[in-house]
Amino acid sequence: MWYHRLSHLQSRLQDLLKGGVIYPALPQPNFKSILPLAVHWHHTVSKSLTCAWQQHEDHFELKYANTVMRFDYVWLRDHCRSASCYNSKTHQRSLDTASVDLCIKPKNIRLDETTLFFTWPDGHVTKYDLNWLVKNSYEGQKQKVIQPRILWNAEIYQQAQVPYVDCQSFLETNEGLKKFLQNFLLYGIAFVENVPPTQEHTEKLAERISLIRETIYGRMWYFTSDFSRGDTAYTKLALDRHTDTTYFQEPCGIQVFHCLKHEGTGGRTLLVDGFYAAEQVLQKAPEEFELLSKVPLKHEYIEDVGECHNHMIGVGPVLNIYPWNKELYLIR
């Protein structure tokens, strides 16, 4: 029953890729924590923001920057950034977490401007910047947008007239790289033009963006319709809308395609914004969006051609979201 319903939903998801209502960006859910406020609060005015806190038996409650936050005392002690507890050069913890008393509670708390000072039972003092606490609190994470996006269909993207980036500018200037990254992060795709048609230049361009991952195909590879590998991409059959490497435990984040040679007809590239389609599902059928984001599936790649024998399995839901703010980050 789950299989049939998921198959139906995936089919509907593909249908929605063809068009629909324009949504300029993924709306963020409105999370508001309703916390029982105790009577005795410490109130302090810090610059233009009011700061108030209260000590509970097992946690510290803070009101700051229009956010009510709760921190476990063990977490606070474990996240001390003093020189004896944290190596600021390597950004790694020096404190042995197992040495922290699970019943630890500060002896004293005071505020100086925008910094909270905790004095622990052994006399150790930890200081926390208020904005750092907001940024690293669970409640603060709920309000945080990981990556602003512009969702698009064919009409939206054509009207946006997103400029291409010249290869020389991309490789040699920070401005060219910045323009490319802005396009990629906002739209999920970006184009570099005037790239010499060689694998070496393609690799040089890819390394300008990030590290190149090793795969069962190699780091960089050619493919054409010769069926040298057991994959539809190596045939003359048309490929419909899909996402690649769903069978990896961690699917690829960026793919670089470069047409080195083209003879005859066909070979057109079809590009789709899956996040736009997912937003359609969320707006029109939120219960089905939830199903697609919660039920894990096995994604398999089976290859048995020539000397290539591979069987890979990746497990995960169709839609992958961050649990703290419901933001979509990956589609399988």
pLDDT in tens, the chain (332 residues): 444 444 555 555 555 445 433 333 333 333 233 333 333 556 555 454 788 999 999 999 999 988 899 999 999 999 999 999 999 999 999 999 999 999 999 999 999 989 999 999 999 999 999 999 999 998 888 877 777 899 999 999 999 999 999 999 999 999 999 999 999 999 999 999 999 999 999 999 999 999 999 888 888 877 777 777 777 777 888 888 889 889 998 998 899 999 888 888 877 888 999 999 999 999 999 999 999 999 999 999 998 888 889 999 999 999 999 988 889 999 99
288-297 CB contacts, 8 Å cutoff, 24+ apart: 288/9, 288/12, 289/319, 291/5, 291/6, 291/9, 292/6, 292/9, 292/10, 292/13, 292/317, 292/318, 292/319, 293/317, 293/318, 293/319, 293/320, 293/321, 293/328, 295/2, 295/6, 297/6, 297/332
Domains detected in the chain: 51-136 (3.30.2020.30), 195-331 (3.60.130.10)
Distance CA 198, CA 270 (A): 23
CB within 8 Å of 57: residues ≥ 6 apart: 105
> To which H or E segment does residue 280 belong?
helix 274-284
**pLDDT of amino acid 22:** 35
CA–chain centroid gap for 48, Å, is 33
Distance CA 318, CA 205 (A): 30
Distance CA 18, CA 273 (A): 10
The strand pair at 165-166 and 192-193 is best described as: parallel
Percent of the chain scoring above 70 in pLDDT: 86
Please check whether residue 51 is in contact with residue 63, taking contact to mean a CB–CB distance below 8 angstroms: yes
The strand pair at 328-331 and 319-321 is best described as: antiparallel
**pLDDT of amino acid 73:** 97
**pLDDT of amino acid 230:** 74
**pLDDT of amino acid 115:** 95
**pLDDT of amino acid 117:** 97
**pLDDT of amino acid 27:** 37
Residue with tokens 């290869």: 167
First and final CA of the chain: distance in angstroms? 21
